[in-house]
Chain A
Amino acid sequence: MTDALDRTGRETETPSYDGAFDAIVVGAGLAGSAAAVTMADRGLEVLLVERGRYPGAKNVFGGVLYTPTIRELVDIDEAPLERYIAERRFGMLTDRDETAVSISPGEWHEPPHNDSYTVLRGEFDEWFAEQAVDAGATLLTETTVTGLVTEDGRVVGVETDRPDGTIRAPYVVLAEGGNSLVSEAADLKKPESPENVAVGVKEVLEFPEHENAIEERFRLTDEAGVSYHYFGEGAVGEAFGGGFIYTNEDTVSVGLAYRLSDAATTQPDPEGTLNAFKTHPKVAPLLRDARTVEYTAKTIPEGGAESIPELVHDGAVIVGDAAGLVLNNGVHLEGTNMAVESGYHAGKALAAAASGATPDDAALAQYREDLTDSFVVRNLERYEWLMETVQSDREFLFEELPRAVADAGSEYFQMDRAPKEEHASAARQRLLEAVGGYTGAAKLAFRYRKLI
């Protein structure tokens, strides 16, 4: 193994990593570092392999980190958090209207702030991987895992793109993200269909000429921040998905994600769709005079519970995005918490296996069981029906309903000389028309009854 960090050209003794570790983690994202911390804490020799220049260099996400498990694993007091989420807002957009619900409990201002913080992954992931190193793990960056080494059907190590790049270890954690080339090449999972993958584009914006733009426009004080979610045709056009704005400390993240099958057909050009969202009359005032700091893109595995691959293999486990652990139902957009949770359970199972207390098979299978019992799989299963239902109602939910609600709103508050009664009746009529009368409304309520 060549010393990756030596760029001076000096002849240095190159350490041999082969067989030196109990476990190799492929990918130093949230799931990978959570697994590494968990195993290192339990005394395992862990190698954390990252293809980027530093952990986080290849990572993109919407923008909110959920921390209930992460703060059990490490002390997040010194973590590079941007702002805590003090307000969540859901806006339905037609081409020119917005109807929004805003939720801002006072409690969210108190620690631990509902465990919801904006972060920038380039900073946070590097910090989190450092916590794994502090716990005893070895971090190897700029090293790409190109394949798995298997013997008699058992994973016994990884191939990397370094000279003499084979590294053997009894256990491998596959935390390589949604673009799971290694897992797929080893036939541990199948490629996802474009119906189950979303394409996301995001910009980080700054306001060079308006020092207090973020505080003023989003009504913030101190470390408070917001998460704004948008759906409807004003957000992502014809597509199945939504847009978002999150406030960071000195920047704002704006982006959207929608189904890849829509990007391939009715709503091509993710960048153009982002431009249109940013220029929506109800979005543009929040973003005016901004300068782009960074433009990013990523795919998101959104297949839900049914898309989770076999998580446990002989000698290897799959965690995080690679395991399809993302919950996106429009109201809840989660993934970081699920990545950390899966890494934690995987790490625990592998540590038990390595200790030899239980046979390998049973110890690794514990990961699957723990994850199935955890909020991760339970939440995915709870909303499995929702995505299908929303998909079949998409035109109603994303186009007709936002329009009807906006119309009803302007009717209800119409200022003229007609009595309020007439406007209220007309507003009600407009809504009923959209939902298909009282029968339609009842059917709709029944269809979505499991939501609350």
Chain B
Amino acid sequence: MSAQPKTPTIENDSLEDRLYTVKYEDPGESHLDVEIPDLCAEECVTYECISVCPANVWREGEDGVPQIAYENCLECSSCRFACPHGNVDWSYPETGAGVTYKNG
């Protein structure tokens, strides 16, 4: 019998390493925002934006308003669809900035 383990180890890169695989050009300012910060702070207890984001762009912030690490954004728009309050302000990064996929 071989010495192969039942399940070979899969090296899953950290999210940080994964995000390094993507070419990204900083548009200089965030293309993401919340429309009304108070809405997040006062009305939202579920934070769907944080749950659905595949790139850890949306993070728990002080005062109940999520922090946005827009530099990581893969432009999938999950946050925009997921927010039950329609409170995500999403615009395309300008003039080709933001993420560039080589394979896609």
Q: With A51-B92, A144-B95, A161-B95 known to touch, is A279 a contact of B101 (CB < 8 Å)?
A: no
Q: Is A212 positioned at the interface, with any CB of B under 8 Å from its CB? A: no
A296 near B81: Cβ-Cβ < 8 Å? no
Q: Is B67 positioned at the interface, with any CB of A under 8 Å from its CB? A: no
| Set of chain A residues within 8 Å of B76, measured between Cβ atoms | 60, 179, 199-200, 297-299
What's the A-B contact tally at a CB cutoff of 8 Å? 164
Q: With A122-B104, A192-B81 known to touch, is A53 a contact of B51 (CB < 8 Å)?
A: no
B51 near A296: Cβ-Cβ < 8 Å? no
Tell me the B39-63 residues at the A interface (CB within 8 Å).
Answer: 46, 48, 50-56
| Set of chain A residues within 8 Å of B101, measured between Cβ atoms | 56-60, 121-122, 294, 296
| Set of chain A residues within 8 Å of B104, measured between Cβ atoms | 56-57, 59-61, 120-122, 125, 294, 296
Instruction: For the complex, give the distance between the alpha carbons of A87 and B65 in Å.
Output: 48
Q: Taking the nearest CB of chain A, how far is it from the CB of B4, in angstroms?
A: 9
Q: Is B3 positioned at the interface, with any CB of A under 8 Å from its CB? A: no
Instruction: For the complex, give the distance between the alpha carbons of A287 and B8 in Å.
Output: 9
Q: Which of B46, B51, B77 contacts A263 (CB 8 A)?
A: B51
Q: Is A445 positioned at the interface, with any CB of B under 8 Å from its CB? A: no
> In chain A, what residue has the closest Cβ to B92?
A144
* Proximity string of chain B (17-51) to chain A, C-beta cutoff 8 Å, 1 when within and 0 when not: 11101100000000000000000000000101011
Tell me the B75-104 residues at the A interface (CB within 8 Å).
Answer: 75-78, 80-82, 84, 86, 90-96, 98-104
B100 near A264: Cβ-Cβ < 8 Å? no
| Set of chain B residues within 8 Å of A288, measured between Cβ atoms | 8-10
* Proximity string of chain A (151-167) to chain B, C-beta cutoff 8 Å, 1 when within and 0 when not: 00000000001100000
Q: Taking the nearest CB of chain B, how far is it from the CB of A170, in angstroms?
A: 25
Instruction: For the complex, give the distance between the alpha carbons of A52 and B50 in Å.
Output: 26
Q: Assign chain A's interface to a size class.
A: 35 or more
A53 near B100: Cβ-Cβ < 8 Å? yes
Q: Is B12 positioned at the interface, with any CB of A under 8 Å from its CB? A: yes
Q: Is A178 positioned at the interface, with any CB of B under 8 Å from its CB? A: yes
| Set of chain A residues within 8 Å of B15, measured between Cβ atoms | 271
Q: Which of B80, B82, B86, B95 contacts A179 (CB 8 A)?
A: B80
Q: Is A68 positioned at the interface, with any CB of B under 8 Å from its CB? A: no
Q: Is A251 positioned at the interface, with any CB of B under 8 Å from its CB? A: yes
Q: Assign chain B's interface to a size class.
A: 35 or more
* Proximity string of chain A (112-134) to chain B, C-beta cutoff 8 Å, 1 when within and 0 when not: 00000000111101000000000
> In chain A, what residue has the closest Cβ to B80?
A179
Which of A192, A194, A251, A296 has the most CB atoms of chain B within a 10 A radius of its CB? A296
* Proximity string of chain A (187-206) to chain B, C-beta cutoff 8 Å, 1 when within and 0 when not: 00001111001011101100
Q: With A297-B76, A298-B76 known to touch, is A142 a contact of B95 (CB < 8 Å)?
A: yes
Instruction: For the complex, give the distance between the alpha carbons of A276 and B16 in Å.
Output: 17
Tell me the A137-157 residues at the B interface (CB within 8 Å).
Answer: 141-144, 146
* Proximity string of chain A (282-308) to chain B, C-beta cutoff 8 Å, 1 when within and 0 when not: 001101111011111111000000000
Q: Which of A122, A279, A299 contacts B78 (CB 8 A)?
A: A299
B18 near A203: Cβ-Cβ < 8 Å? yes
Instruction: For the complex, give the distance between the alpha carbons of A57 and B49 in Å.
Output: 24
Instruction: For the complex, give the distance between the alpha carbons of A294 and B74 in Å.
Output: 11
Instruction: For the complex, give the distance between the alpha carbons of A297 and B10 in Å.
Output: 20
Q: Is A73 positioned at the interface, with any CB of B under 8 Å from its CB? A: no
B19 near A295: Cβ-Cβ < 8 Å? yes
Q: Taking the nearest CB of chain B, how far is it from the CB of A298, in angstroms?
A: 5
Q: Is A437 positioned at the interface, with any CB of B under 8 Å from its CB? A: no
| Set of chain B residues within 8 Å of A143, measured between Cβ atoms | 95-96
Q: Which of B48, B54, B90 contacts A270 (CB 8 A)?
A: B54
Which of B9, B96, B99 has the most CB atoms of chain A within a 10 A radius of its CB? B96
Q: With A199-B76, A260-B52, A281-B7 known to touch, is A292 a contact of B17 (CB < 8 Å)?
A: yes
| Set of chain B residues within 8 Å of A199, measured between Cβ atoms | 52, 54, 76, 78
Instruction: For the complex, give the distance between the alpha carbons of A224 and B13 in Å.
Output: 29
| Set of chain B residues within 8 Å of A59, measured between Cβ atoms | 101, 104
Q: Which of B13, B77, B99 contacts A299 (CB 8 A)?
A: B77
Q: Is A221 positioned at the interface, with any CB of B under 8 Å from its CB? A: no
Instruction: For the complex, give the distance between the alpha carbons of A220 and B96 in Å.
Output: 38
Instruction: For the complex, give the distance between the alpha carbons of A265 and B104 in Å.
Output: 27
Instruction: For the complex, give the distance between the alpha carbons of A23 and B80 in Å.
Output: 30
A120 near B51: Cβ-Cβ < 8 Å? no
* Proximity string of chain A (33-72) to chain B, C-beta cutoff 8 Å, 1 when within and 0 when not: 0000000000000000001110011111100000000000
Q: With A58-B101, A181-B90 known to touch, is A191 a contact of B51 (CB < 8 Å)?
A: no
Task: Give 30 pairs: A residue, B residue, CB < 8 Å, sorted on A.
Answer: A4-B95, A57-B96, A58-B75, A58-B99, A121-B104, A125-B104, A142-B96, A144-B96, A146-B91, A162-B95, A179-B80, A199-B78, A201-B54, A251-B103, A263-B78, A264-B48, A264-B82, A271-B54, A275-B12, A278-B12, A279-B10, A284-B9, A292-B18, A292-B21, A295-B19, A295-B22, A296-B104, A297-B74, A297-B76, A299-B78
B contact residues vs A (CB 8 Å cutoff): 6-10, 12-13, 15, 17-19, 21-22, 46, 48, 50-56, 74-78, 80-82, 84, 86, 90-96, 98-104
